[in-house]
Chains A and B, each alone.
Chain A
């Protein structure tokens, strides 16, 4: 008898634990007082302040640019890596590639960030490229760790897929490239979309690696947020958080309804 109450209560407490901090961010974004314990009445002034802050707007623009470019390239490279590992039969570099695809997933961000920075410094000395660190180096870094995630997502989709569907296309006269574009690509498209979204989120979220490989004038949004919140609570960041939460909630719920409709 007791057990039947334990489970829902434990789950409820868990969900409250997950959502109370998020809800509190949203509420305080409308608080007129700067102090979290004092309710100073409703206001939207922090949103106004947010949209007048050139530093945050600039950083958001840089982050979005890096996110879109690195998610796109990471999706292409990660998909190719997944294809090589699942559909190319005997490949000489298989062991090496498998290792290099799975290692970034377990690599602490500080190590990835440090090693890439040291590489860029060494390349700058030896080759003169990249001349300075900034958006380009952050993008390269994000592509590198995101493609590993994409490769894993796409690979599991390719492994689950019935090989004979591709064989059937070949049997009906399609050449390998044709088979890929006609059959494989449409069938793994959901995995590509989730891989892209995952990469975009990871890129948009990354503080550590970007801090290592960025240069002057190329602070990303997480870097700006971090430098602000290190000093304590800042209401315009609450406003920013609320906007992000709203955006994500709409996006995810929309995707959820879309998928449910597709299934029906």
Chain B
């Protein structure tokens, strides 16, 4: 009981009865003959850090720009905290945006950039400057108030952009590829910084990104987009472990996909026949009919690799084509009889004895519960 109450409070989307903070209903955006966003509906809850994840041109940025008020939806409605924002210009919306290019005002100092929103709101100058100083301290830029944007590093500019977007305490902060322009190392540090700031202010964040690792690290939930549609919404773990389609399975992380037909469905086991790895045993899912074409998605870390055959539900022989050593783990590319290459990752901590290496004959094995059956 207590457990589910906590869940409802921190993860309101699980309750099914909680009131969403942002309600996107049947939104479409058509540019000429191109449908950028196609009938998207989405509920986002207060305090969430929601990631819209997808490749370039999937419509995620257009969706974000409709929330900000820079694009008018062709159809559908957006409600933010109970207010329908149709027809409300960007300057009057309770949202703020952090732009991919940062869009800092080049002719204004850091301080003036950050204070700009407050001054437009009519906050008295002294008060605005005090709040600006506070905000600059939060993003650790207190000493840079008088600098011009071009005198800052990329990471510092990014934090000015964040401070400027947060200063008005928006109900909703929209971030367009917030970490896209940073190098890998800085990006990893900044991810946690972003979470810290979001948690300390309690503002709802919607982040657009094409980087699945970033989405996994940052978000409470992820919405995966493809060709203008939301294909799956869920917590990072759910998206990774239980993708609902071949697209999501393939887009998030690395996956081995085996296509075949449903053969025998038993209460605890089913068989898929005719895959490139032969017949495979897996856990059944509901609503399948015999002979239906399905795919089995199998993450590389779910497969174990050994010199001898094992008694696991699935065990197939293969030949190690390549090994890449990445320090913490090793990636194996193993060819099987059909010619298909299967990717297997192995934590280097788990390796005992002589590690398996190039051009060895091996066996790949996994349990019935290791893969996910996908119908689309």
Question: Contact partner of A173 among B100, B103, B105, B168, CB < 8 A?
Answer: B168
Q: How far is the CA of A165 from the CA of B105 in the complex (A)?
A: 6
Q: How far is the CA of A167 from the CA of B105 in the complex (A)?
A: 11
Asked if B101 is at the interface (CB within 8 A of a chain A CB), the reply is yes
Question: Which chain B residues in 87-124 approach chain A with CB under 8 Å?
Answer: 89-93, 95-97, 99-101, 103-107, 116-117, 120-121
- Chain B neighbourhood of A167, CB < 8 A: 68, 70, 90, 97, 99, 103
Question: Contact partner of A171 among B91, B104, B106, CB < 8 A?
Answer: B91
Asked if B164 is at the interface (CB within 8 A of a chain A CB), the reply is yes
Closest A-chain residue to B176, C-beta based? A164
Tell whether, in the assembled complex, residue A169 and residue B97 are in contact, meaning their CB atoms are under 8 Å apart.
no
- In the complex, how many angstroms separate the beta carbon of A26 from the nearest chain B beta carbon? 40
Tell whether, in the assembled complex, residue B96 and residue A172 are in contact, meaning their CB atoms are under 8 Å apart.
yes
- In the complex, how many angstroms separate the beta carbon of B32 from the nearest chain A beta carbon? 13
Question: Contact partner of A169 among B89, B92, B95, B105, CB < 8 A?
Answer: B105
Residue among A165, A172, A173, A178 facing the most chain B CB atoms (10 A cut-off): A172
Q: How far is the CA of A171 from the CA of B105 in the complex (A)?
A: 13
Q: If A162-B101, A164-B99 touch, does A172 touch B107 (CB 8 Å cutoff)?
A: no
- In the complex, how many angstroms separate the beta carbon of B124 from the nearest chain A beta carbon? 15
Asked if A125 is at the interface (CB within 8 A of a chain B CB), the reply is no
Question: Contact partner of B120 among A164, A165, A172, A186, CB < 8 A?
Answer: A172
Closest B-chain residue to A186, C-beta based? B107
Tell whether, in the assembled complex, residue A170 and residue B103 are in contact, meaning their CB atoms are under 8 Å apart.
no
- Chain B neighbourhood of A169, CB < 8 A: 105, 116
Tell whether, in the assembled complex, residue A162 and residue B117 are in contact, meaning their CB atoms are under 8 Å apart.
no
Tell whether, in the assembled complex, residue A172 and residue B116 are in contact, meaning their CB atoms are under 8 Å apart.
yes
Tell whether, in the assembled complex, residue A171 and residue B120 are in contact, meaning their CB atoms are under 8 Å apart.
no
Question: Which chain A residues in 154-175 approach chain B with CB under 8 Å?
Answer: 162, 164-165, 167-175
- In the complex, how many angstroms separate the beta carbon of A186 from the nearest chain B beta carbon? 5
Tell whether, in the assembled complex, residue B107 and residue A162 are in contact, meaning their CB atoms are under 8 Å apart.
no
Bitwise, B141-157 to A at CB < 8 A (1) or not (0) is 00000000000000000
- In the complex, how many angstroms separate the beta carbon of A263 from the nearest chain B beta carbon? 11
- Chain B neighbourhood of A168, CB < 8 A: 97, 99, 103-105, 164
Tell whether, in the assembled complex, residue A172 and residue B99 are in contact, meaning their CB atoms are under 8 Å apart.
no
Tell whether, in the assembled complex, residue B106 and residue A174 are in contact, meaning their CB atoms are under 8 Å apart.
no
- In the complex, how many angstroms separate the beta carbon of B351 from the nearest chain A beta carbon? 49
- In the complex, how many angstroms separate the beta carbon of B132 from the nearest chain A beta carbon? 13
- Chain B neighbourhood of A170, CB < 8 A: 70, 89-91
- Chain A neighbourhood of B91, CB < 8 A: 170-175
Category for how many chain B residues contact A: 20 to 34
- Chain B neighbourhood of A182, CB < 8 A: 105, 116
Closest B-chain residue to A174, C-beta based? B120
Asked if A183 is at the interface (CB within 8 A of a chain B CB), the reply is yes
- Chain B neighbourhood of A172, CB < 8 A: 91, 96, 116-117, 120, 164, 168
Tell whether, in the assembled complex, residue A178 and residue B120 are in contact, meaning their CB atoms are under 8 Å apart.
yes
- Chain A neighbourhood of B90, CB < 8 A: 167, 170-171
Question: Contact partner of A187 among B97, B107, B120, CB < 8 A?
Answer: B107
Residue among B69, B117, B165, B168 facing the most chain A CB atoms (10 A cut-off): B117
Residue among A164, A165, A167, A168 facing the most chain B CB atoms (10 A cut-off): A168
Residue among B92, B103, B165 facing the most chain A CB atoms (10 A cut-off): B103
- Chain B neighbourhood of A183, CB < 8 A: 105
Q: How far is the CA of A51 from the CA of B266 in the complex (A)?
A: 110
Q: How far is the CA of A162 from the CA of B149 in the complex (A)?
A: 15
Q: How far is the CA of A178 from the CA of B119 in the complex (A)?
A: 12
Q: How far is the CA of A170 from the CA of B117 in the complex (A)?
A: 9
Q: How far is the CA of A160 from the CA of B112 in the complex (A)?
A: 24
- Chain A neighbourhood of B103, CB < 8 A: 162, 164-165, 167-168
- In the complex, how many angstroms separate the beta carbon of B216 from the nearest chain A beta carbon? 27
Closest B-chain residue to A162, C-beta based? B101
Residue among A168, A171, A174, A178 facing the most chain B CB atoms (10 A cut-off): A171
- Chain A neighbourhood of B164, CB < 8 A: 168, 172
Q: How far is the CA of A171 from the CA of B93 in the complex (A)?
A: 8
Q: If A173-B121, A187-B107 touch, does A164 touch B101 (CB 8 Å cutoff)?
A: yes
Question: Which chain A residues in 198-257 approach chain B with CB under 8 Å?
Answer: none
- Chain B neighbourhood of A178, CB < 8 A: 120
- Chain B neighbourhood of A173, CB < 8 A: 91-92, 117, 120-121, 168
- Chain B neighbourhood of A186, CB < 8 A: 107
- Chain B neighbourhood of A187, CB < 8 A: 106-107
Q: How far is the CA of A246 from the CA of B97 in the complex (A)?
A: 52
Q: How far is the CA of A164 from the CA of B181 in the complex (A)?
A: 15
Q: How far is the CA of A182 from the CA of B68 in the complex (A)?
A: 20
Q: How far is the CA of A164 from the CA of B68 in the complex (A)?
A: 12
Bitwise, B67-94 to A at CB < 8 A (1) or not (0) is 0111000000000000000000111110
- Chain A neighbourhood of B106, CB < 8 A: 165, 187
Can you identify 16 A-B contacts, CB atoms within 8 angstroms?
Answer: A162-B103, A164-B99, A164-B103, A165-B103, A165-B105, A167-B70, A167-B90, A168-B97, A168-B105, A170-B89, A170-B90, A171-B69, A172-B116, A174-B91, A182-B116, A183-B105
Q: Which residues of A contact B (CB under 8 A)?
A: 162, 164-165, 167-175, 178, 182-183, 186-187
Task: A168-B97, A173-B92 are known; give 5 further A-B pairs, CB within 8 A.
Answer: A165-B103, A171-B68, A171-B95, A182-B116, A186-B107
Q: Which residues of B contact A (CB under 8 A)?
A: 68-70, 89-93, 95-97, 99-101, 103-107, 116-117, 120-121, 164-165, 168
